[in-house]
Amino acid sequence: MQTIVSAVDRLNAGVTLVVGLLLMVVTVSVFGQVTVRFILTTGGINISAPWTEELARYSLIWMVFLGAGVGVRHAQMIALEFVIRKLPARVGIPLRYVSILLGIAFFALMFWVGLGFVDLGRSETSPVLGITKDYVYWAMPFGAALMILNSLALVIDTHLNARDIRFVADETPEV
């Protein structure tokens, strides 16, 4: 079981690198759009770069879904945890596992719905880049699968190391 957790953590390291690269793409694209739209036009140079807006949007979509998948591994998703943290361990810990199970069910629904979007995207083309939108829509099922995988890794890891799952986010080192 520890091998599975280690493999997921190695996968997450690669995904985190991809998220960083996507952040760079978004930053450069938005900077390019601002430069073309405002700075160059002020200087009398009227050109357009509509591809920068689409590239930034599609990169941001992938960045969000992949980043959420990695965030699940360390229990860093938005949650109202103060109730679970205040409950006694014999009640709070099972309640936290139930919330993770509900999360996995939601991620499975996201995966299923995402596959429907991928199918729809095969018939759509982005207006500027000219790519089929299934490349963009794959972010949802891929991110949802990553969230499911990381939820399971979180449960396995806390069980193997006898950690209190209610406080995992507090133990996670800053990246």
DSSP string, the chain: -HHHHHHHHHHHHHHHHHHHHHHHHHHHHHHHHHIIIIIIHHTT-----THHHHHHHHHHHHHHHHHHHHHHHTT-S----HHHHHS-HHHHHHHHHHHHHHHHHHHHHHHHHHHHHHHHHTT-B-TTT--BTHHHHTHHHHHHHHHHHHHHHHHHHHHHTT--GGGHHHHSPP-
Task: Pull the structure tokens for residue 97.
Answer: 């596992």
What average pLDDT does range 141-166 have in this prediction? 91
State the chain's mean pLDDT as an integer: 90
Task: Name 140's Cβ contacts closer than 8 Å, sequence gap at least 6.
Answer: 65, 110, 111, 113, 114, 117, 118
Is 80's pLDDT higher than 70?
no
Q: Tell me, what's the pLDDT at 147?
A: 97
Give the whole-angstrom CA distance, residue 133 versus residue 157: 36
pTM: 0.87
Q: Tell me, what's the pLDDT at 86?
A: 83
What average pLDDT does range 57-69 have in this prediction? 96
Q: Tell me, what's the pLDDT at 36?
A: 87
Q: Tell me, what's the pLDDT at 84?
A: 79
What average pLDDT does range 13-29 have in this prediction? 97
Is 13's pLDDT higher than 60?
yes
**Stretch among 2-11, 69-78, 139-148 having the lowest mean pLDDT:** 69-78
Q: Tell me, what's the pLDDT at 174?
A: 54
pLDDT (tens digit, 9 = 90+) per residue, 102-137? 999 999 999 999 999 999 999 999 999 999 999 999
Give the whole-angstrom CA distance, residue 123 versus residue 109: 23
69: exposed, middle or buried (C-beta count within 10 Å: 0-12, 13-18, 19+)?
Answer: buried
Query: Where exactly are the structural domains of the chain?
Result: 2-171
Q: Tell me, what's the pLDDT at 103?
A: 93
Give the whole-angstrom CA distance, residue 25 versus residue 56: 7
Q: Is 155 or 170 the better-scoring residue by pLDDT?
A: 155
Q: Tell me, what's the pLDDT at 81?
A: 74
Is 168's pLDDT higher than 80?
no
Give the whole-angstrom CA distance, residue 152 versus residue 150: 5
